[in-house]
Amino acid sequence: MTHRYRYSLPVFLGLCVGWVVIDPALAAEAGLSLTAAYDASHLNDPTLQSATHAFEASRHEEAIGRAGLYPQVSLTSRYGYGGRTDGGDDRSYVNSNDYQANSVTLAAQQPLYDKARWAAYQEGKARGQLGNQLFDVAGQTLYDRVAKGYFEVARAENEIKLIAQQKVVISGLVTQSKKLYQGGQGAITDIDEAQARLDLVQAQEAEAQARRTAALRALSGRANVPIDDIQPMHEELAAASPIAPEQDLPYWTAIAREASPELASRLAAVKVAEAQADSQRAGHYPTLSLTTQLTRRETRQYEALDPRQDTYYVGVQLDIPLYRGGGVRASVAKAEAQLAGAQSDYDVQRQQLAEDIEVDYLGVVAGFAKSKAMQRAVESNQRALVSTQKGFEGGVRSTVDILDAQQRLFQARRDLLNTKLDMLQSYVSLHTHTGQMNRAVLEQVQSLF
């Protein structure tokens, strides 16, 4: 038996679709913006702070390596006294503490030919460049991590808002069903159906609230500021895709090859491994250096003052390695293996980067097309809900039909918002992987949010 509910159609539809009407004044004060979340994270994010300290340390690598090419100067000073003990019995025992010797030595050495020191200098430069590239990677990935954390909160809040609309509508159906049943026009099954659906959405709301709390806590931890809410997301879509038609996949791939900080960091790691291998190979080569030494000695022995002695030495020193137990050969083999591994890591990163860029690019292009389709699906489900309501008033549709139509509309809206978030995340990742992410792009994402 079909039961007709006298539920006002305008009120019903207003409850279903009215959530998209947002007061701009309230929206401006509703919560933290994406750009504000990034600004706070840029100052307080522990991962970025760690990368900053590592970068500051890497800035000294070149100077450390270059120091080996400069003269090595040392000053050695000796000051003390001594004596002697003569005799084996008490009568002939003599204890003398009148011996004193002081000396000061100034020595300097300038490498003339030393492959190991030159390789250490090249390694220092490479390590400095590697630190710079890793810092760029950390700066780019911060955008991506903040966007992910922010969008995770948005997913939960969108669902909570949609569920709140469902609860209002279903609660109205439960009330209406009870009134009709009490008036002898309805059935107990209609009340049970509506109540069961209400219990279900309440459970979904509790789950979404838990996800929102966890997501807010994660975002707050990264930004190191308390965050109670974020700005509400809009259902509207831009008229065109964020990516211009001329910016095709080869366009972004070419940019990545030139500007990707991830790829540049792998290449810098290869340069470090090359310098390390050269440093180990230098163990087979001789070294030549210019050495100088100036020494002044003053000696007082047994109350007789010897003249002061000043000596100097200038010359060259040649060291030729002959045999070191096979350690040099083993070190060279190890360094060459590490170099091959670094080159393989670079090839892996290059391939992975090409795959990531393609995924991100298609995520934006296909995501925008899917969002447009989902927007049409929302409109279709809204019309279907209106038709179901009219059929219910005409006696050809039941409470279950209304609940199902309303559930389909909820899913369509949720899928639309999630698809839009996926598209925006792909847009951020595309710029991150290509090294093009900056605050202007983030502001663009905020405007599309």
Report the DSSP pairing between strands 72-86 and 94-113: antiparallel
Most confident range (mean pLDDT) of 79-93, 274-288, 354-368 is: 354-368
Cα→Cα distances 422→298, 354, 389, 428, 429, Å: 82, 19, 33, 10, 10
Cα distance between residue 135 and residue 131, in whole Å? 6
Q: How big is the chain by its Cα radius of gyration, in Å?
A: 39
pLDDT grade, residue 240 (50/70/90)? confident
**Number of Cβ atoms within 10 Å of the Cβ of 404:** 16
Interval 316-337 mean pLDDT: 87
Contacts of 395 by beta carbon, 8 Å cutoff, 6+ apart:
2, 4
Question: Which residue type occupies 384?
Answer: A
Q: pTM for this structure?
A: 0.76
* Contact predicate 418/431, CB 8 Å: no
What is 71-113+287-320's CATH topology?
Outer membrane efflux proteins (OEP) (2.20.200)
Cα distance between residue 304 and residue 293, in whole Å? 28
Question: CA nearest 186: which of 4, 388, 397?
Answer: 4
Question: What is residue 98's three-state secondary structure?
Answer: strand
Residue intervals in the chain for CATH 1.20.1600.10:
9-70+114-163+211-285+324-448
The helix-helix angle for 115-182 and 261-281 (nearest 10°) equals 150
Partners of 96 in beta bridges: 84
Q: How would you label 313-333 residue by residue, b for 16+ Cβ within 10 Å and e otherwise?
A: eeeeeeeeeeeeeeebeebbe
End-to-end CA distance of the chain: 47
Q: Right CATH number for 9-70+114-163+211-285+324-448 from 1.20.1600.10, 1.20.1630.10, 3.40.50.170, 3.40.50.720?
A: 1.20.1600.10
Convert the pLDDT of each residue in 8-48 to its tens digit.
433 333 434 333 333 333 334 558 889 888 988 888 888 88
Phi-psi group of 64: left, alpha or beta (phi > 0 → left; psi -120 to 50 → alpha; rest → beta): alpha
Residue intervals in the chain for CATH 2.20.200:
71-113+287-320
Using the predicted structure, report yes or no on whether residue 389 has a pLDDT greater than 90: no
pLDDT grade, residue 88 (50/70/90)? low
